[in-house]
Amino acid sequence: KNEVEQSPQNLTAQEGEFITINCSYSVGISALHWLQQHPGGGIVSLFMLSSGKKKHGRLIATINIQEKHSSLHITASHPRDSAVYICAPWRAGSYQLTFGKGTKLSVIP
């Protein structure tokens, strides 16, 4: 079993839809990153969470440490949100990230 499981693997949405991407992990963590990877390969860290919920614009990330689960939500999705979203737990006591396989999101106008 992978240490990090993301779902869905692929997601196609109509512009304006509410999007949810889920991440479950089995390792003990100190924090968790949600990353956005553009088609060219570059990565941007959207959020780093250690508890609760964070919001940035149309993006919301939540984490439940006890249940080892995190979600990324996108409200009013837009074609420019099309990218791969990667969940990356930060192992407790380490600077190393463990990466999920990513969710490929396509938002259609």
Partner 1 sequence: SAVISQKPSRDICQRGTSLTIQCQVDSQVTMMFWYRQQPGQSLTLIATANQGSEATYESGFVIDKFPISRPNLTFSTLTVSNMSPEDSSIYLCSGGDAGELFFGEGSRLTVL
Out of 9, 44, 53, 108, the residue judged to bind partner 1 by CB under 8 A: 44
CA–CA distance, 62 with 56 (Å, rounded to integer): 12
52 burial (CB, 10 Å; 0-12 / 13-18 / 19+) is exposed
Residue 65 binds partner 1 (CB under 8 A): no
CB of 28 to partner 1, least distance (A): 15
Residue 55 binds partner 1 (CB under 8 A): no
CA–CA distance, 27 with 98 (Å, rounded to integer): 9
Binding positions for partner 1, rule: CB under 8 A: 30-31, 33, 35, 40-45, 48, 50, 86, 88, 90, 95-97, 99-102
